[in-house]
Amino acid sequence: MTVTQTSLLPESEAKSGGFSIELIHSASKRSPASLSMELVPEPLGNYLINFSVGTPPMFQLAVADSGSHVNWIQCEPCVHCYSQHLPLFSSLNSSTYKAIPCGSSQCFQNNCQGSQCTYGMSYIDGSYSNGDLGMEMFTFYSPKGLKEISFPDIVFGCAHSSKLADTNPNMSGIMGLGVSPWSLISQISPAFGQKFFYCFVPLAQLDVPSTLTFGENAWGSTGALFTPICLKPFKHFYFLTLVGISVNSKRFNLFNNSTTEGNIVIDSGTTLTSLPTQLYNQVETAIIQAINVEPFFKENSTNPCYKDLSGSDVPPVTMHFIAADLPLSKENIIWPTGQGIWCLAFRPTEDQAFYGNVAQTNFLVGYDLDKMIVSFKATDCTKMA
């Protein structure tokens, strides 16, 4: 892959073969036309990559999503699309856009409309994206905007019909970091390898950007905990194995078929952590008993909520993954929903369990796709920018 460096990366990044970019939360004041951070959108919230597409460049904000395997943005004409603040990308106005024809090896779903390769994506939460497949110049920017790096011929979806469950108008689409030859991490791997990490700031501190780093300097974190990635046929997720959860000193283990290898997906594009119902009920009961304050429940929500909790009110919670016992902090266990209200950041599910981004805040979370491991290191992510 040819990589264009409009201005040189720092020597330390060049030697280590990596680069870092900012992530902006969809509820942050840094996000264009966003509302005050006093209220975090419920039940969703995502960390967005600021980048540009095409020549001349058109700026975009896409969800950094390790649970998705295809990159896509909304494009003109957008017939059935959600409203977004940023202008829609027009392939006709870009000198570097290349349509992917039918029969091409990059036409990965073998869907066609005439001679044009098309795609269709659907997601567990009801989101979807349909449109044309093309190749284009993607340009990413350093945290301070002093340098940029461009990748030509990135395969992506140009959506003409799309829906996101989180209809925040700051989002242009999704940047797939999942398991697929068509994800961003795979497409830039010839230049930077198959390693990346992110550090998400907590929801109460969104005035500070989060960080996403690709390449060799995304690894070698002393003091990190490591757990293996489990891949499954025809799935594009990073599956981990959750053995159980402890609240205070009481441990609750998973049951029945939930104990199989690869029973939970780590997902940067999902907000709350969903757990098998039986395990969730045990964890919720133990947390409520430990807090010892009567919770209340918001309309259309099963999550217990509290007013003005201090950190000392929240009991220690530990996630027990294979080879990694991960202690959580207050901001991983409960999340701010506005007006001094904090709600439990877990929810029950009868379907696939997901390890959401609230549980990952203030951790340096690394993915090594050569060794097939994920690492966690407790970190003050506000100091990473």
What pLDDT, in 10s, does the model give residues 202-223? 988 888 899 999 987 655 567 8
CATH topology assigned to domain 4-218: Cathepsin D, subunit A; domain 1 (2.40.70)
Q: How confident is the model at residue 162 (pLDDT cuts 50, 70, 90)?
A: very high
Instruction: State the pLDDT at residue 13.
Output: 46
pLDDT of residue 15: 39
Just list the catalytic residues.
65, 267
Distance CA 219, CA 369 (A): 11
Across 105-249, the runs of DSSP E, i.e. the strands, are: 111-113, 116-122, 128-141, 148-163, 173-176, 195-199, 210-215, 225-228, 239-240, 242-247
Position 31 scores a pLDDT of: 59
* In the predicted structure, residue 60 carries a pLDDT above the cut 50: yes
Q: What is the pLDDT of the chain when averaged over all its residues?
A: 87
Domains 4-218 and 225-383 belong to one CATH topology: yes
Residue percentage of the chain with pLDDT more than 90 = 66
Give residue 368's pLDDT band: very low, low, confident or very high (50, 70, 90).
very high
Q: Report the pLDDT averaged over residues 351-376.
A: 96
pLDDT on residue 357: 96
At residue 194, does pLDDT exceed 70?
Answer: yes
Phi-psi region of 381 (alpha: psi -120 to 50; beta: other; left: phi over 0): alpha
Q: What percent of the chain has pLDDT over 70?
A: 86
Min mean pLDDT across 38-42, 103-107, 158-162, 328-332 is at: 38-42
Q: How would you classify the pairing of strands 116-122 and 111-113? A: antiparallel
Question: In the chain, where are the structural domains located?
Answer: 4-218, 225-383
Q: How high is the pLDDT of residue 299?
A: 80
Q: Round to whole Å and give the CA distance between 24 and 29.
A: 9
Mean pLDDT in residue range 9-30: 66
Looking at residue 205, its pLDDT comes to 86
CA dihedral (254, 258, 261, 262) positive or negative: negative
Q: 225-383: what fold?
A: Cathepsin D, subunit A; domain 1 (2.40.70)
Cis upstream peptide for 233 (omega within 30°) = no
pTM of the model: 0.90
- Here the tokens at position 51 are 């980048």
pLDDT, residue 220, reads 56
Give the contacts of 232 (CB within 8 A, at least 6 positions apart). 239, 262
Say if residues 184 and 156 touch (Cβ distance below 8 Å): no
